[in-house]
Amino acid sequence: MGLLSKKDTALITDPLTDNNPITIQVLGICSALAITAELKASLVMGIAVLFVLGVGNVVISLMRNIIPSKIRIIVQLIVVASLVIIVDQVLKAFAYELSKTLSVFVGLIITNCIIMGRFEAFALGNGPWRSFLDGIGNALGYAVILIIVGFFRELLGSGTLFGIPVLGDSIEKTGVYAFGYENNGFMLMPPMALIVVGIIIWVQRSRNKALIED
């Protein structure tokens, strides 16, 4: 195994399946609903959270023995907010185009419950390496759900994937539109993301009965 012990591997794989932050812990729902109308936005958000959660978990873990418990939530909030702001500023100075694409996500990252949730539940009680793995695992679990939801919403809502039309042209009536198919504009609305997440939760629990609470 070398680098990763069995326990360490579980830190990454568990959030992808039976301990998924969105479908099992129901954290980070707000951003999962808001920005999944497009596959590209889902992917970008997934990568951004991966970075912030990985680094943030390590920082909090290194500070875990000196953080006063009375104000730990505020300290966590400050750490994640300043991390995100510094990254945003550096991007604005050196990769302006990229920063314009990402800046709308900044507010969503800071308020993402998964980040605070992992700081509180894991990084405060574990070493930096394990915290890093936990952060990566949870961010991947989050990203997977976002990408699944984004895939269905963009495909059924706009008939495109990554902005490329895959079902034909809805105005010129080519491809499947020639047979009377119509884009479901309702898929672009946030409530439909909730329904898609609900379906994922349903599928997951019907496959693994152990996940069903009484």
Partner 1 sequence: MSNKTDSNIYTILFAIVMVIVVGGLLAFTASALRSNIDENKRLEKQQNILYAMGVNENEGNSAVFVSTEKAPELFSQYIKKQLVIQDGKVSEDDQAYLIDVKKEQANAKVGNARRLPLFVGEKDGKTFYIAPIRGKGLWDAIWAYVAMDENMVVKGAYFDHKGETPGLGANIKMRYFMDDFIGEHLMKNGAFKGINVAKGNADPKNEDKTDNEVDAIAGATITGDGVSAMIKSDLKLYVPYFETLKQ
Choose which of 125, 127, 185, 198 interacts with partner 1 (CB under 8 A). Answer: 185
178 binds partner 1 (CB under 8 A): no
DSSP of the chain, one letter per residue? -TTS-HHHHHHHHGGGTTT-TTTTS--SHHHHHHSTTSHHHHHHHHHHHHHHHHHHHHHHHHHTTTS-GGGHHHHHHHHHHHHHHHHHHHHHHH-HHHHHHHHHHHHHHHT-HHHHHHHHHTGGGS-HHHHHHHHHHHHHHHHHHHHHHHHHHHHHHHSEETTEESS--TTTT-GGGGGT----GGGGSHHHHHHHHHHHHHHHHHH-GGG---
Choose which of 11, 22, 27, 37 interacts with partner 1 (CB under 8 A). Answer: 37
Closest to partner 1 by CB, 96 vs 207, is 96
Choose which of 26, 30, 86, 98 interacts with partner 1 (CB under 8 A). Answer: 86
Closest to partner 1 by CB, 72 vs 205, is 72
Closest to partner 1 by CB, 166 vs 203, is 166
24 binds partner 1 (CB under 8 A): no
Site for partner 1, rule CB under 8 A: 34-38, 41, 44-45, 65-71, 74-75, 78, 82, 85-86, 89-90, 92-94, 96, 103-105, 107, 154, 157, 163, 171, 185, 188-189
